[in-house]
Amino acid sequence: MNGEHDRSAVRRRALLSAVGSAVGVSAVGTATARGAEPGGSRRCPDATIRTDMDHCEDASMEGCADDHPETIELREQASETIDTRYPTVGSLLEADFLPYFDVKRPGATAGWSHWLSPEYIGDDTLVDPDRPESILVDNESWRPIGIMFIATVDGDPVDPPTLYAGPGSDSGDSSDEGTNGDSSDEGADDGSSHGETDHDVAGDEKRCSPWHYHRGLPGRLAWAYYRQVHERDYEEGELSIPCRTPCMMHVWTVPHPEGVFAHDAPSPEYRGGTPVADPGFETDADPEEQQLGWDALPEHAVPDRRPRDLLTSW
């Protein structure tokens, strides 16, 4: 490890350590103030305690197709980004992606993690496969299995673009118009942990705009954790957990029976086979013997207070 990397690791470790305590205050303070109700509150009437998501306003899955040329191109670009730049967990660490291991829950789709890029969340591009806000990783095989776009500009939630629209659609948006341009602000906040929705599809059948947000506590807490750890919201007195996350969109680069843009992960048999031989960083953990998790990561990448510690405070 060179001197510059050593200094970067020390700075990163100090940041994670310092703000970990602030996040703990946030979670406990919010719970004490309004109580851990099973449904919403006056501040967040649609929020839930359980894992839960819903379609973003004006979103549509009806017009999406895996064999549409723009879907094919977007998936190929996402695959190229993973294959050439982020093929291992080590490459994510080197690129300063921040790990978030979702609280484990039962079911075939458990065991995957989100790795967030503060640089790309904080820039002014949308739906750019070269600048993915998040990489999705299978914890069983330690392999990246997709990317996740987050609709933010300068870190703040915005209205997401339509990927493509068929002839006669009411929407004039397109992927070309939305990819690198600005969007109008939307009052959404927070996210990262996947669940069910109240309805299967949204929007008209001629548009593909497969964006969702999280209103369940695990997803809201994940986004709050990220905001506190990297964006240092606590310094501005923001200690509450947001009512919802920004809009998000998955692009799975492994086969998925529910489609390229499915909201939840594919079951393990679709996720990339045997564990990696080389995770791309030094670790005592063996990918063939254990899942990827905090214990497998180098010390500088692990905060003193982890997300699961915050949930136990509620």
Helix (H) or strand (E) run with residue 153 in it? strand 152-153
Prediction pTM value: 0.75
Confirm whether 283 is domain-assigned.
Answer: yes
Higher pLDDT, 82 or 172: 82
Check residue 1 and give its pLDDT.
43
Confirm whether 55 is domain-assigned.
Answer: yes
Q: Average of pLDDT values for 23-37? A: 33
Check residue 194 and give its pLDDT.
36
Confirm whether 287 is domain-assigned.
Answer: yes
Check residue 272 and give its pLDDT.
80
Check residue 172 and give its pLDDT.
45
Bridge partners (DSSP) listed for residue 159: none
Alpha carbon distance 265, 111 (integer Å): 9
Confirm whether 44 is domain-assigned.
Answer: yes
Specify the amino acid at residue 263.
H
CB contact burial 105-133 (16+ within 10 A = b; e otherwise): eeeebebbbbbbbbebbebebbbebebbb
Q: Average of pLDDT values for 61-74? A: 96
Tell me if 242 sits within 8 A of 153, measured CB to CB.
Answer: no
Check residue 240 and give its pLDDT.
73
Alpha carbon distance 146, 151 (integer Å): 17
pLDDT, one tens digit per residue, over 139-181 is 999 999 999 999 999 989 999 999 998 665 554 444 443 333 3
The total domain count for the chain is: 1
Check residue 258 and give its pLDDT.
95
pLDDT, one tens digit per residue, over 107-134 is 555 689 999 999 999 999 999 999 999 9
Q: Average of pLDDT values for 56-81? A: 95
Is the pLDDT at 287 greater than 70, yes or no? yes
Is the pLDDT at 77 greater than 70, yes or no? yes
Confirm whether 1 is domain-assigned.
Answer: no
Confirm whether 22 is domain-assigned.
Answer: no
Check residue 218 and give its pLDDT.
80
Is the pLDDT at 42 greater than 70, yes or no? yes
Confirm whether 234 is domain-assigned.
Answer: yes
Domain residues for the domain of 138 are 39-296
Confirm whether 225 is domain-assigned.
Answer: yes
pLDDT, one tens digit per residue, over 186-216 is 333 333 333 334 434 454 568 999 999 999 8
